[in-house]
Structure 1
């Protein structure tokens, strides 16, 4: 293998790893939104230790990213669209990664 081919393979692996991390975070964000709805409408037992652990994990993983988005959004009367905004940002980053950045380095 040539050095150029090895570098291209490493860059492809790096971009795939970043893409996978963004994809996993997308699913965690969706799970967090669904969990919050289930919790708000008392569909799940909030006194269950496992449910509480899952909720705490989802909150701790998503809240640091969602909080700055929420602080910039106008008050929409109790409707939180920050997860949707974050999903759009992740979609933009993934598209940018493969259509613009990867062709530049490959």
Structure 2
């Protein structure tokens, strides 16, 4: 069962990394440091969008409209961190 705990923690770490990378890329694209017309940048951006949109979508439907400010990544990061805390506090259940 310890391996199940480690797999869950790994998945949460990967999701955390993807969200952070997506947020940083969105800033760089908005400040025109990165250009979506470059093939490599575009592929990474659209890949991250396809991976994270199923997670962001339900959160965006619940959150009120913030007129241009998207706080869905922040809410999802808090949720991932909360799941990590719950898993770590209940690690005895995995033994």
- TM > 0.5: yes
Three-state SS of the structure 2 residue aligned to 1:47 is coil
- Aligned residues, how many? 95
Q: Which of structures 1 and 2 has the bigger CA Rg? A: 1
**Matched position secondary structure for 1:39:** helix
TM-score, scaled relative to structure 2? 0.93
**Kept after mapping to 1: 8 A contact 2:2/2:94:** no
RMSD between aligned residues = 1.1
Distance, in Å, in 2 between the alignment partners of 1:75 and 1:47 is 29
Whether 2:20 is the aligned partner of 1:36: answer no
Of 76, 79, 82, which aligns to 1:86? 76
Moved more, 60-69 or 34-43: 34-43
Paired position in structure 1 for 2:92: 103
Residue ranges of structure 2 left out of the alignment (5+ in a row): none
Segments of 4+ moved more than 3 angstroms: none
Question: Does the 8 A contact of 2:4 with 2:94 survive in 1?
Answer: no
Task: Give the match for residue 66 of structure 2.
Answer: 76
Q: TM-score, normalised by structure 1?
A: 0.84
